[in-house]
Structure 1
Amino acid sequence: MGTVLDFLCLQAFKKIMMKNMYWLLMVFAFAKANSQQTLNPLVTIDQDAQKHWVDSVYSSLSQEERIGQLFMVDLFSNKEAAHVNKVRKLVEQQKIGGIIFSKGGPLQQAHLTNELQSKSKTPLMIAMDAEWGLAMRLDSVYAFPWNMTLGAARTSTSSYEVGKRIGEHCKRLGVHINFAPDVDINTNPDNPIIGNRSFGENKENVTQKSYAFMNGMQSTGTLACAKHFPGHGDTDQDSHKTLPTVDFTAARIDSIELYPYRRLINHGLASVMVAHLNIPSLESRSGYPTSISKKVVTDLLIDKLKFEGLIFTDALNMKGASNFSKPGDIDLAAFKAGNDVLLISEDIPTAIAKINAAIKTGEITKERLEVSVRKILMAKYKVGLHQYVPIDTEHLVADLHTEEDDMVYESAMEQAITLLKNEKKILPIKNLETKRIAYVHLGDDSGAVFLKELNKYANVDQIITDDLNTMLEMLSDYNTVIIGAHRSNETPWKSYKLTAKELNWLTEISKKHRVIFDAFVNPYMLSQLKATAPMEAILMSYQNSDWSQQISAQMIFGARAIKGRLPVSAGKFDVGDGLQLDGISRLSYGDTPASVGMKAAILAKIDSVARYTIENKGAPGMQILVARKGKVIFDKTYGGHTYGKDDPVSSTDLYDIASVTKILATLPLVMELVDRKVISLNEPLSKLNAKLAHTNKSDIKLKEMLSHYARLQAWIPFYKYTLDSLDSTPLKEYYSTTRSDIYPIEVADHFYASTMVKDTIFNRIANSELLDKLNYKYSDLPYYILKNYLESHYKKNLDELTQDHFYQSMGMTHTTYLPLKKFPKNKIAPTENDQTFRRQQIRGYVHDQGAAMQGGIGGHAGLFSTANDVAKMMQMYLQKGFYGGKTYFKSETFDKFNHRYFAGDQVRRGIGLDKPALDSVGNTCNCTSDSSFGHSGFTGAFTWADPKEELVYVFLSNRVYPDADNRFLISKNIRTNIQQIIYDSIIQ
């Protein structure tokens, strides 16, 4: 059987003479190109089958129907019936070749596509202008970063991935060709129509990114289309409104504007769109659009650049073209110039008639028509229209907004964001304990996501006022100011410029404060910055999307590295500028589960377990967080503070974490002292406290005590000794309803204890009997002893010590003892309605009675926190003492504590850290590694970290509301069942 080339040669030879040899050669060239290349190298096209289908379709068409294949009409799926009916008629009566969809929604478009395909004699080629995804035209679909943003990356990986995902979206919606990438080299900051749509001003960078984008998209079977030929990047007019002039020499255009076309054409570019431009150096006729210029389309694109793919006009209803001639005339001129597809003609019936008449008079040969029609049909075969299948609309919207899309967007923004200035190494922000940080908003769009993300790392206060002097006065209490410039992310054409007022504010604030300026705008904004605005740091974040705001905030605090470089020159900054900055191992947020090798669909099962727990009153609400490889990939809240519906849990609400206090407060302070060799794990208790020197606890070693292998009592009900033996009411010698010098210790609301209570507690511990037999017995008593030691050693209370040594520098802004001194009551989840001791609902006061009797500050309980803050400490442990650029203790010190010293005696515990059970039944899901560790708390708290899987899990709840006898979480294994789901989601 002959090849496509053989067939076309034979047919062409019979039909044409030497004067038509040019078009014969075009037939040869395109046939050869299509016999050797496929759109997707992973898919092989059966050349014989393709030839047979093209021949069959072509021969079935009349001359008017063949001309109809040249036309692609625009269709808005959100417009009125009359508009849609007009397109229906063009499909049925004029037998047009394709449709370019514009504004509307995905479901409406899918239904219209299915309908019109069923009405069309020849399958329609469906196109869209979707440079940054279908969202460029449609609602309810995903918007990817603009080209300018992608152009800021140092590699082309994100351009490929974005192109690939856009191609997959197109395929899902039945779109065969996407008019992208825009390969214009934007060398004019005042360009009103390209700007953000360009990858930048450097021809090499634009070419690399365009090539990657094209490959990504065409790997999915979606045709790419490079535009706007021969180059729209250095114009200051919009061809939608007029005919812009590009007044450069042919040599300059050849060197700059045509540079990316050469590489893309040589590597399988499917199509090119020709712009409506006035370029005197290429077309001598004054005001003659390039789109209808034979010198540009045929002589330059086809002959000189050897392009053999489809050639599209830009929309013929644009003023750059429609102003030139009447409908029909412009179409004829465009076809004669060498274009294959005439896009958005203003009068298709008239245009078809004029082209048909030109063929009949010999002005256009039939062979010329055959070239374009066969090219169109071969492209239709390539995209699968020979085996057309209607669009499946089930799950369509969900399929166009997936976790993979988020992962691609996240990665693209992480590669793009650019650091341009970093005096005195102000970034990343370290030593949080010394920082008072304010945020000032500039611009016309929201910075709420940015501010919320900043507050995951430190207390960042937004300062709001309309008066500059008032602003400067309000900022006087802060030593670091973050200024965010937020311009609308709605379209790439929005103005990027700051107002004169905003520029003045930026300058004046910078004169008096250390300023980090973060611009969520087009990088050309940088040309507005004055030398008199001495900001210490300048970040270019390019777009004001949620992802950009989140990732940029994380970079400010060192949770992510900064890698980008400027894709254009602006002001004092040159193209390619950009400082690279490593991260400092803080948690990052918003990452997709897939980015760390986990399945979101499996993690979603946590929702069902949480709802089941709340419905069965296992707990009113909860916070659940999962982090892997330093990235928080699951962070949700459920339910309310109570079982009502008016107090939903937020991520910044505080929970009483009960015994988790042990590993978040006491234990890190002990680790620090062991690391500094102030004490050792073999230290006897007599050395820690002289009052224990002559007791039965004198020789117990720290290692034994913290392993719960020291014969200590599990607990002592201290509070019971302070109640009346007859009616269990608090004895007046110990308690009062009013504070005084005699009763200074606040136990609960209007409930104060005398100073003798603390001494009584320690004396009871010192004099308590040891258990008869040495075996594993979990006990709270070690942490009373250690609290006493730590406060004595440092001459500060445990609340101050934890803040000074860990919480402030780690950004644990919502972790504290005595939360009512810092937070409103409605931000704290209530615990038990205590009717045995304090006779009141407990909210904002520690639930544990022993800690309460110590004024709310216990070594074993008393801490309130959020899942986010607990995760920070667990991540620091996972990193063996390092977090946020600071080493708190050496890795070998942590290893000493994360070790079972008495495993041979069936003691599962490490030093203070809980460890997985030694047998098959235990405190975890039995899926954790032996190196894992964590702790649980009586109120419903649970946290676990696994070095092997680089995993952190936090579960906080108030399961003791309103009754501490509620054992639903425990009996139903809720916390460990969720842990099992987390491990099940890990991709093996």
Structure 2
Amino acid sequence: MRFKYKITAAAVFGMMMIGLGSAHAETEFVDLQYSKWAEDGIHYMAKRGTVAGYGHGRFQPRTPVTRGQAITFMVRELYPDQLEKPVDHLNYTDVPAAHPFSREIAIAEQQGLAGGFPDGSFRPDAPISRAETAAFLTRAYPLKQGPQSAKWTDTAKHWAASPIQMMSSNGLVGGYADGTYRPDQKVTRAEYAVFMARVIRFEREAAIEAKDWDKLISYMTVSEQVGQMLMPDIRQWNGKATTTINEGLQRSIQDQNVGGLILFEKNIVDAQLTTFTHHIQSQAGDIPLFLGMDQEGGVIRRIPGGTNLPGQMALGAANDPSLAEAAGQLTGEELKALGIQVNFAPVLDINSNPDNPIIGMRSFGSNADLVTRLGLAMMEGLRQSGVVAGVKHFPGHGDTAVDSHLGLPVLAHARERLDAIELKPFKAAIEQGADMIMTAHIAFPAIDNEQVISRKDGTRVPLPATLSRKVLTGLLREELHYQGIIISDAFTMKGIAEHFGETEAVVRAAAAGVDVILMPQDASSAHQALIQAVNNGKLSKERVHEAVKRILTVKSKYNLFEPAPTLTQKLRVLKGIVGAEPHLQVERMIAERAVTVLTGTEGMKSETIRSGDRVVIVASDAEQAAQLQRQLKQTAGSLPLQTVTSVLNSDDMKSIFQTLNKADYVLIASYQFRSVGSQFRWSELQLLVNELNQRQMRYTLLSLGNPYEMLHLQNVHSALAAYGKQEPNTLAAIKVLLGQREPQGKLPVDSGRSAQ
């Protein structure tokens, strides 16, 4: 009867083990109140899918572990792939084919983990002892003699003396207060889970210390591996901005095992970001997170209160690689002080299309050599600061008239053109050792002309680069020999989201060569889709392994595995870095060197503001007009001026014209960005320019956005470009308008008609 009970318990346990590793496996248990010492180890092994409960939240921590159960734990941990393969028949007299652990015992024997007894039995239902546990674990894991000394009074002549000593020397097992080890004592489920957890964590730590990423990956579950390939955003949870650790953030880190997170303005409140990122990393376990941000400078800027760089096109107008490198370095220094290790910059797209609605002044310009020269300098500056530069958007987003946030652009150029223009800066970045390249959600038929059925409307649509194996593996990896991380652009963008479906697109991208999926629409669904794809063979384990190895390699290269400073130390350093005066000097220098004459009077000078002028400022919104008015008054100093602001509105041009009656000088602020250039409301500006010309008034058109006004406006007598509406840019332009500085910039794009 007693033997029958053992078999029944084993059978129940075997049935329970069938579902190990599934999304529904229990990881929380209600019966650990007297086993608190083992709670962490039990949860760790349960999360790995190695141990499980008996249902209804019961783990039964004090129940002895049998030899069959112990072997099952280790086989499912070490050889899960073998469980689906045929196994040889066992000759043990007490392990029939119907035994719930016969397959695991057969695999263990094949792998040399365990054997039977001289009488031909295996004794699968006998409780395992502390000695056998040490023997099993030292056979399973390549442990070496450790530094600790332990001399137990009852192990010297025991058959398991050597494995016990090996485990003890590494601090993985301990004895009792009376100096004994008690090698023949039974091991409970709680104890066995703790022993396994200690060994696995010990081996992972050793792999990290040795930078043996293949070894570390071998100790990572499939869930952990594909989790490293996800980088969701955490802007909000339950309708509220995420600025502290919350349940949603904990789930992403602990349940999806994500490898990184991208942060936005919503995640930042004053100087709290360093504290927030410090606490985020504390949740990450033994593999730190990539924390990333789009801090390009100019129009794409996430950090309030930091250095407000004028942007990449301003750098293009200044055309000084040393300034681009300084911009990259100071940006990286500020990000690193705030706990950010990845900056999705610089933009290496060549803005050769004036109608581009999304790149524009985010680019250095329309010349491939200029973009390459300045892009490499900024990348180097970021690298010197210790921050990963995620250059973007491969193979090139500069010659499109569709925003991939809203649709799926197609770049139909021949391969020869792509090599000469779009690919040029990326090739140079690869040669200079780029560590991360972001893909574009754009189709390139010259490289991959495959089409698929759109989930949006059933039409055939081209495959974007992010999902194209020919682009990412064929071109980027095999032809251009890129070895770093490939990260996708955001998966929330309609260029992907509308046509391909969330889970299908995630799996397609990973199979095509993407190492990190940025901003999946639902991190949990993406995580499960990748696990399922690995399990059903749609995504090979080799593909996942190589992606994770690249991620770990770059994390190590940028010292993410090194001991982090304390929060107090971080906050102390922060005060002297973010918005520091040397950084602000670079900010001002770039802005002042960038101001460019688009068109002007004889000698190509813009009209200046004179003493006593009554100045009317016309802008597209009241906030911009007020900013220019304030800066003009502050910068003019003792120069007597009167200023009036007006908002440009096609429905009220008459009142604007009436305002001009009392003006000596008119400053027109133009801002075109995030719209197709040819579809912008140029008619309002043209009416105003025509009126000013007819009245023969002095004026300057100040371009604060994409500097293509001269393509769309006629007879503009005076125009400057500042390449951004943020304060450093506008202040630099004001100084030129007041005659305090000479404009030094050169237009970095082909605008058709200009001073260049």
TM-score bracket for the superposition, by shorter chain length: 0.5 to 0.7
Question: 1:76 corresponds to which letter in structure 2?
Answer: R
SS of 1:567's partner is coil
* Aligned equivalent of 1:385: 560
* 8 Å CA contact 2:357, 2:401 repeated in 1: yes
Report the CA distance between 1:348 and its aligned residue. Answer: 3.7
Q: 2:485 aligns with which of 306, 310, 324?
A: 310
**Does the residue aligned with 1:74 lie in a helix, a strand or coil?**
coil
Residues 616 and 660 of structure 2 are in contact (CA less than 8 Å); yes or no, is this contact kept in structure 1? no
Q: Decide which of 180, 193, 213 is 1:54's aligned counterpart.
A: 213
SS of the equivalent of 1:277 reads: coil
Counterpart selection for 2:421 from 244, 250, 256: 256
SS of 1:282's partner is coil
Alignment correspondent of 2:431: 266
Asked if the contact 1:523–1:570 (Cα under 8 Å) also holds between the matched residues in 2, the reply is no
1-side partners of 2:408 and 2:375: how far apart? 26
Q: Distance in 2 between matches of 1:157 and 1:189?
A: 27
Taking the aligned partners of 1:85 and 1:152, their CA distance within structure 2 comes to 46
Partner of 1:519, secondary structure, is: strand
Once residues 230 and 405 of structure 2 are traced to their aligned partners in structure 1, the CA distance between those partners, rounded to angstroms, is: 20
Q: Does 1:421 align with 2:599?
A: yes
Retained in 1: the 8 A contact 2:321–2:374? yes
Does the CA contact (< 8 Å) of 1:229 and 1:274 recur in 2?
yes
Counterpart Cα distance in 2 of 1:86 and 1:283: 38
Q: Which residue does the alignment assign to 2:318?
A: 153
- 1:437 corresponds to which residue? 613
- Structure 1 counterpart of 2:466: 291
Q: Is the 8 Å Cα contact of residues 231 and 261 (structure 2) preserved in structure 1?
A: yes
Q: Is the 8 A contact 2:311 2:361 kept in 1?
A: yes
**Matches of residues 514-593 of structure 1 in structure 2 within 5 Å?**
515-527=698-710, 530-533=713-716, 535=717, 537-573=718-754, 577-578=755-756
Q: What residue number does 1:85 align with?
A: 247
The CA deviation at 1:372 is: 1.2
Q: Secondary structure at the match of 1:273?
A: strand
Distance 1:134 1:395 in 2: 27
Work out the CA distance in 1 between the residues paired with 2:311 and 2:613: 31
Q: For 1:240 and 1:64, locate their aligned partners in 2 and report how far apart those are by CA, in whole Å.
A: 29
Alpha-carbon distance in structure 1 between the residues aligned to 2:487 and 2:263: 15
TM-superposed CA distance for 1:470, in Å, is 4.2
Cα deviation 1:612-663 (Å, max 9, x = unaligned):
xxxxxxxxxxxxxxxxxxxxxxxxxxxxxxxxxxxxxxxxxxxxxxxxxxxx
Q: 1:508-537 CA distances to partner (integer Å, 9 max, x unpaired)? A: 22344363414142243423664444x2x4
Structure 1 residues 377 and 473: alpha-carbon distance in aligned structure 2, compared to 1, 3 A threshold: closer
* One-letter code aligned to 2:641: V
Q: Tell me the amino acid that sits aligned with residue 509 of structure 1.
A: L
Change (3 A) 1:498 1:515: farther
Give the partner amino acid of 2:257: K
Q: Deviations over 1:764-783 (max 9, x none)?
A: xxxxxxxxxxxxxxxxxxxx
Give the aligned partner of residue 706 of structure 1.
Answer: none
Query: Matches of 1:372 and 1:139 in 2, distance apart?
Result: 34
Matching residue's letter, 2:542: E
Q: What's the offset of the Cα at 1:450? A: 4.1
List per-residue Cα deviations over 1:28-74 (Å, max 9, x = no partner): xxxxxxxxxxxxxxxxxxxx987535356434322321222111111
The yes-or-no answer on 1:104 pairing with 2:267 is yes
- Contact 2:618 2:666 (C-alpha < 8 Å) held by counterparts: no
Deviations 1:557-586 (A, max 9, x none): 44333210112122422xxx54xxxxxxxx
Cα contact 2:346–2:391 (8 A) shared by 1: yes
Question: d(CA) in 2 for partners of 1:116 and 1:472?
Answer: 55
Alignment partners' CA distance in 1, 2:419 and 2:370:
17
The 2-side partners of 1:515 and 1:82 are apart by 48
Distance verdict in 2 for CA 1:422–1:136, change over 3 Å: closer
The aligned amino acid for 2:309 is F
The residue identity in structure 1 corresponding to 2:662 is: M
Superposition deviation, residue 441 in structure 1: 1.3
The yes-or-no answer on 1:451 pairing with 2:632 is yes
CA pair 154-90 structure 1, distance change in 2 beyond 3 A: closer
CA distance in 1, matches of 2:723, 2:516: 35
1:70 aligns with 2:229: yes
Q: Percent identity?
A: 28
Check 1:81–1:397 CA distance in 2 against 1; reply closer, same or farther (3 A cut).
farther
1:277: Cα distance to partner? 1.3
Secondary structure of residue in 2 paired with 1:335: helix
Q: Which runs of 5+ in 1 are unaligned?
A: 1-14, 16-47, 579-988
Q: d(CA) in 1 for partners of 2:736 and 2:485? A: 44
Contact 2:337 2:573 in 1 (8 A): no
Q: Distance in 1 between matches of 2:617 and 2:335?
A: 37
Distance in 1, matches of 2:418 and 2:732, equals 38
2:516 to 332, 336, 341: 341
462 and 357 in structure 1: CA distance in 2 versus 1, 3 angstrom threshold: closer
Q: Which amino acid in 2 is paired with 1:119?
A: Q
Distance apart, 1:322 and its partner CA: 1.9
In the aligned structure 2, how far is the partner of 1:448 from the partner of 1:494? 29
How far off is 1:438 after superposition? Answer: 3.7
Query: Partner residue of 1:640?
Result: none
Query: Counterparts of 1:916-931 in structure 2 under 5 Å?
Result: none
CA distance in 1, matches of 2:712, 2:241: 51
Q: Distance in 1 between matches of 2:670 and 2:534?
A: 56
**Equivalent residue number for residue 393 of structure 2:** 228
- Letter matched to residue 417 of structure 1: V
Q: Cα distance 1:498–1:148, how it changes in 2: closer, same or farther (>3 A)?
A: farther
The letter for the 2-side match of 1:244 is P
Match of 2:669 in 1: 485
1:474 maps to 2:652:
no
Q: Which has the larger radius of gyration?
A: 1
Post-superposition offset of 1:376? 0.6
**Residue 276 of structure 1: aligned partner:** 441
Q: 2:690 maps to what in 1?
A: 507
Secondary structure in 2 matching 1:112: helix
Q: What are the superposed Cα offsets for residues 831-877 of structure 1, whole Å, 9 maximum, x if unpaired? A: xxxxxxxxxxxxxxxxxxxxxxxxxxxxxxxxxxxxxxxxxxxxxxx
**Matched residue, 1:974:** none
Deviation at 1:500, TM superposition (A): 3.2
CA distance in structure 2 between the aligned counterparts of 1:300 and 1:507, rounded to whole angstroms: 51
RMSD: 3.2
Separation in structure 1 between the aligned mates of residue 609 and residue 641 of structure 2, nearest angstrom: 14
Alpha carbons of structure 1 residues 303 and 507: separation in structure 2 relative to 1, 3 Å: same
Matching residue's letter, 1:72 = M
Query: Contact conserved, 1:68 with 1:96, CA < 8 A, in 2?
Result: yes
Checking the alignment, whether the CA contact within 8 Å between 2:442 and 2:464 is kept in structure 1 is yes
- Answer whether contact 1:58 1:66 (CA < 8 A) is retained: yes
Cα distance in 2 for partners of 1:142, 1:74 equals: 23
| Residues 563 and 184 of structure 1, relative CA distance in 2, 3 Å threshold | same
| The one of 559, 583, 588 aligned to 1:410 | 588
Q: Name the aligned partner's letter for residue 556 of structure 2.
A: Y
- Alignment partner, residue 257 of structure 2: 95
The aligned counterpart of 1:239 is 404
After superposition, the Cα gap between the structure-2 partners of 1:408 and 1:492, relative to the gap in structure 1 and judged at 3 Å, is farther
Q: 1:365 to 1:302 in 2, by over 3 A?
A: same
8 Å contact from structure 2 (residues 365, 371) kept in 1: yes
Q: Give TM-score, length-normalised by structure 2.
A: 0.63
Alpha-carbon shift at residue 402 of structure 1 (Å) = 2.1
Does structure 2 retain, via aligned residues, the 8 Å contact 1:442–1:483? yes
Aligned to 2:348: 183
Code of the aligned partner of 1:69: Q
| Aligned equivalents of 1:133, 1:384: Cα separation in 2 | 29
Q: 1:188 to 1:425 in 2, by over 3 A?
A: closer
How far, CA to CA, are the matches of 1:211 and 1:343 in structure 2? 23
- Corresponding residue for 1:880? none
Q: How does 1:952-971 map to 2 (within 5 A)?
A: none
- Residue matched to 2:278: 114
- Give deviations 1:370-389, integer Å, cap 9, x for gaps: 21111111111122111141
- Distance change (3 Å), C-alpha of 1:455 and 1:332: same
State the alpha-carbon separation in 1 of the partners of residues 714 and 397 from structure 2: 32
